[in-house]
Structure 1
Amino acid sequence: MDAWVWWLIAAVGLGIPLVLTAMPEFGMFAVGAVAGAITAALGGGLVIQVVVFAVVSVALVAVVRPIAVRSRSQRPALASGVEALKGRQAVVLERVDRGGGRIKLAGEIWSARALDADQTYEPGQQVDVVDIDGATAVVL
């Protein structure tokens, strides 16, 4: 059997643990084995094949792995729940002051209170939601 066939068998062999364990490093080694197979098919000697395999595998691990780790550790940009309501605009339905009131926020009626104790908002006014305190929107 030709050397490039052995490299492809090695690539498949390295792909199996990738699927079973979800460790991307095995996939990077499998790509290195494919590079070794291409080198063998082009007539490179055994030493060159092993060097190409090692260089491609190490380069992929050194470049791709930090990117994958960084993207896995970042929080998604999509806010949900009460976090998604902060910063949105609402319409005052009943007078809102430090004692309370009602607003329409995201299609729902919420109890609300003013952030500034001296501020009062009349029905029909647009307000910004700055925080959610339990079931009460704090508006400005």
Structure 2
Amino acid sequence: MNLHTWHKESKKEWDVFAPMWVKNSQEMWETGSRKNIIPFFSEYVPSGVKVADIGCGDGVGSLKLAEAGFEVTGVDLSNVMIEFAKGKTAQQPELSFLQGDFYNLPFKDEEMDAAMVINSLEYTGEPLTVM
């Protein structure tokens, strides 16, 4: 499978899977497998900085980052996920969401101070390239 096919298939799969993901996302971030991510992140990254949440999914992690005092831009390959994220966080001025991917991030060099990348690298065709 070439890179273009991998990229296209990942986007398609996440667009289809998004509604199912949304059903479990909140619980994962609050009491499940992701509950310690934001406290850990906050321990090492100063609040107030600009954070790219790459592979933001439905925006729950981005929202939790914003609530912890970060200025967050979530990026996801899936347009469907981005729409879910925007719907959940419409009243949060410190949050924004963009459709995009690792291969062509919508940021200028050094525009962001930090990045959070959860459950994303495995959906790229060339993880070392995007790192």
TM value normalised by structure 2: 0.23
- The higher-RCO structure (CA 8 Å, 6+ apart) is 2
Query: What's the TM-score once normalised by structure 1's chain length?
Result: 0.22
Larger radius of gyration: 1
